[in-house]
Amino acid sequence: MTKYGDRIAFLRERHALTQEDLANKLGISRASLSHYETSRREPDYTTINKIASFFHVSIDYLLGRTNQSDRILDEEVRDFVDNLELSDEKIMEKFALTIDGKKLSPDEARRFIAFVRAERSLD
């Protein structure tokens, strides 16, 4: 499986960009980009999303989960995933939220979601 760093470097070179050029376009330092390309450091979700958007490829392609660079979620599926509400009882039955390898109870999951919402309201 190809490492994400190899994919990032390949795409950058294919678009005839220097590390400095791409780093500026992404709003990150050249050193950070270098670390990503050598797989010494993993980009956070926001950065990997910026890279995928910039090169018009899927995140799965960047992570090496597919070799099809243009495979992206259908817009309806993406809307569903983006609006997935984990506090919905039926959704909670289908997904197992875990912390430290132990499944959260429905009450714990509701408290966790409430905590995240409270934290977000402080921003």
Q: Would you state the pLDDT for residue 78?
A: 56
Q: Would you state the pLDDT for residue 112?
A: 78
Q: Would you state the pLDDT for residue 10?
A: 93
Q: Which residues pair with 99 in a beta bridge?
A: 102
Give the tokens for residue 45: 């979700």
Helix (H) or strand (E) holding 49: helix 45-55
Read off φ and ψ for residue 20, nearest 5 degrees: -60, -45
In single-letter form, the type of residue at position 36 comes to Y
Q: Which residues pair with 98 in a beta bridge?
A: 103
Residue 36: is it exposed, middle or buried by C-beta count within 10 angstroms (0-12/13-18/19+)? buried
Digitized pLDDT (tens) for each residue of the chain, 123 residues in all: 458 899 999 999 999 999 999 999 999 999 999 999 998 998 998 999 899 989 988 888 888 777 766 655 556 655 665 565 665 666 666 667 777 778 877 778 778 777 777 777 776
d(CA 83, CA 92): 14
Q: Would you state the pLDDT for residue 108?
A: 81
Q: Would you state the pLDDT for residue 117?
A: 74
Model pTM greater than 0.85?
no
d(CA 44, CA 49): 9
Please name each of the domains of the chain with its CATH number. 4-62 (1.10.260.40), 84-121 (no CATH)
Q: Would you state the pLDDT for residue 23?
A: 96
d(CA 40, CA 47): 15
